[in-house]
Amino acid sequence: MNNFESLGLSKQLLRSVAEEGYETPTPVQSQSIPPLLSGRDVLGVAQTGTGKTAAFALPVLQVLSRSKPQSKRHIRALVLSPTRELAAQIHERFSAYSEHLDLRHDVIFGGVSQKPQVRKLQRGLDILVATPGRLLDLINQRHVDIRKVEFFVLDEADRMLDMGFIRDLNKILDILPQRRQNLLFSATMPKSIADLAESFLNNAVRVDVSPKELTVDLIEQKIMFVRKSDKRSLLVNIIKEEQVNRAIVFTRTKHGANRLVKQLDQSRIDAAAIHGNKSQGARTKALADFKKGHISILVATDIASRGIDVEGVTHVFNYDLPNDPESYVHRIGRTARAGKSGVAYGFCDDTESGYLISIQRLIGYEIPIDEDHEFHFVRAIPKPGQKPGKVRNNNSSRNRSKSNQNRQQNAKPNSRNRRHRSNQRNSNQSRSNNNSSRRNNHSRSNNNSSRRNNQSRPNNNSSRRKSHSRRSRN
């Protein structure tokens, strides 16, 4: 199907699609929309950057617009998302697509006050986008009723399980009505996701878009081998030489993201960080500033690698290569969206070559190497026959070995010293005991002598009294 008209969408939705600049449906859209419009459940295996939000949002809007509730509006469609950013973005897409429809929708998530969310819920909604935690909180407070849901969408299901939402998800599924239409989207399909899908999908149509189809098209990928200490300088050089105006830089840790933002600021490059330790207000502001062009660089951990849809991202930098090869696909999918081209750089130091091997095995080819920079580091290149995964740092291992040897060597004289000091203490204690024994014996001897003397004194006194008596009688 080469156009949206052939998918069976209504005139109102076709108008919205045209206003958004969509011309040709993506594979996941052309495969998902027709069965959803016909009432079938769908199981979609699709990465970010495939247009999957429109793949479920458009049919949900069309199905719900066919009828209107006779009384107060109630939640007829529920969309669950693992993160606040993705939930907010899905809500934005519903706003754009429903511009010409009489449907109400809103989004709820944690990290912000629930009062404004509760007020909107009380006015009545047709569609609710939510994260699991805040949804259950408001259900328990009786602010949300999902017992009349007709359409249930679970987006980024694998991410949902990775973040530990399986119990919350099961509680929500228990509350939902048995009769409803379902859609599950997941970037990957491990056994846990397959079991979850089987638990609530009914005779689902499977839509599968493989990672290989995503990374080959339109994205110019480059690997640059560099020392870890030179990554910042290399990044600054590329940003300035290529005049990068909108790029996402991925780091492995939250602390690393914060540190890199400060370092970029020192180089007079406007940047902001987005990760799990940031407050919801800070994350929302950073993303909004990035979308509006107020900052040119967004530094992120993998929390932003899925679902963050920002138009016009020309570059993605894997400042730290991910240890999960599928995260690489999610990351570079932030560029080359909506038919545009993009560049994805990967910085690989000597501890990350095993990660590079894993990534290339997943995507099925070797990423081109860019050696034309002053920081090229030959020792970071993977060795022939090297296994995928984390590379052990031999230098640190040798240092730890030397340190252990030094501890052992230092322990020997210390042990001798301790034994020597112990012997000295025992010897001193022995002398002290002997001296004490002599003092005690001497004391006993004096006491015995004193007793004998005391015993002899009464006898002498008696003798004196007898002698005096004799003299008196005489």
Three-state DSSP class for 286?
helix
Per-residue confidence band for 472, with pLDDT thresholds at 50, 70 and 90: very low
| Residues contacting residue 103 through CB under 8 Å, at least 6 positions apart | 61, 64, 65, 126, 127
- Check pLDDT > 60 for residue 451: no
Query: Which of 140, 337, 175, 319 lies closest to 238, judged by CA?
Result: 319
- DSSP 8-state secondary structure symbol assigned to residue 329: H
- Check pLDDT > 80 for residue 410: no
- In the chain, CATH 3.40.50.300 sits at 4-209, 214-394
Superfamily of domain 4-209: P-loop containing nucleotide triphosphate hydrolases (3.40.50.300)
- Check pLDDT > 90 for residue 243: yes
How many Cβ atoms are within 10 Å of 212's Cβ, its own excluded?
Answer: 13
Per-residue confidence band for 307, with pLDDT thresholds at 50, 70 and 90: low
Specify whether domain 214-394 bears CATH 3.40.50.300: yes
Q: Is the pTM of this model over 0.85?
A: no
Reported as a single tens digit per residue, the pLDDT across 330-385 is: 888 888 766 678 999 999 999 999 999 999 998 888 999 999 999 999 999 999 98
Structure tokens at 392: 């052990």
186-214: average pLDDT: 83
Residue with tokens 């690393």: 256
- Check pLDDT > 80 for residue 36: yes
CA distances from 216 to 221, 243, 328, 333, 365 (A): 9, 25, 13, 11, 10
Q: Which helix (H) or strand (E) holds 345?
A: strand 342-348
- Check pLDDT > 60 for residue 91: yes
Q: In what order do the strands lie in the sheet containing 315-318?
A: 219-225, 342-348, 315-318, 247-250, 297-300, 271-274
Q: Which helix (H) or strand (E) holds 12?
A: helix 11-19
pLDDT of the residue at 259: 96
Exposure of 218 by Cβ count < 10 A (0-12 exposed, 13-18 middle, 19+ buried)? Answer: middle
pLDDT of the residue at 306: 58
| Most trustworthy range by pLDDT among 41-50, 143-152, 386-395, 450-459 | 143-152
151-168: average pLDDT: 90
Q: Beta strand pairing status for 205-208 and 297-300?
A: unpaired
- Check pLDDT > 60 for residue 399: no
CA distance 305 to 328: 9
Per-residue confidence band for 211, with pLDDT thresholds at 50, 70 and 90: low
Q: Give one DSSP letter per residue of 78-146, joined into a string.
A: EEE-SSHHHHHHHHHHHHHHTTTS---EEEE-SSS-SHHHHHHHHH--SEEEE-HHHHHHHHHTTS---
Contact 248, 334 (CB under 8 A): yes
CA distances from 241 to 235, 236, 250 (A): 10, 8, 20
